[in-house]
Amino acid sequence: MSFFLGLFSLLMIVVGAMFIYKPDFMAGNVKLYADEPGFHVLAAVGRILLGLAFMVYAAQAHLSGLVGFLGLVMFLAGVFLLVISHDRFSAIVNRMVDHYGQYARHAGIFVAVVGAILFYAVAL
């Protein structure tokens, strides 16, 4: 499980770096797939599974409180995404990209830093 969560943490660092380097490209791709039902399902189920994995592994992590808390937040976000309709999901994603797109670099920095902290917490 440590390997899987470490790999996810590295993926967060890479995605954060991509948002820093090419924010318009990344935001455009997110908006491109916002209307796809599969993207909605993947976002919900992925968050639920990752949240459960982080909560289960939290006791063994270096920063167990942080890992458990982030796992709980991911799990609850996934449940929320399962409950809302696909139209509402698309509207939320499109609104976030349209209104907060200028902050994509800041979000990329945040995601990369959180990914690095998680990598330390679960993989080292």
pLDDT per residue as tens digits for the range 103-124? 889 999 999 999 999 999 998 7
Average pLDDT over residues 86-97: 90
Domain region containing 34: 2-123
Q: Are 36 and 23 in contact (CB under 8 A)?
A: no
pTM (2 d.p.): 0.85
**Nearest partner of 116 among 52, 63, 73, 42, judged by Cα:** 63
- How many distinct structural domains can be found in the chain? 1
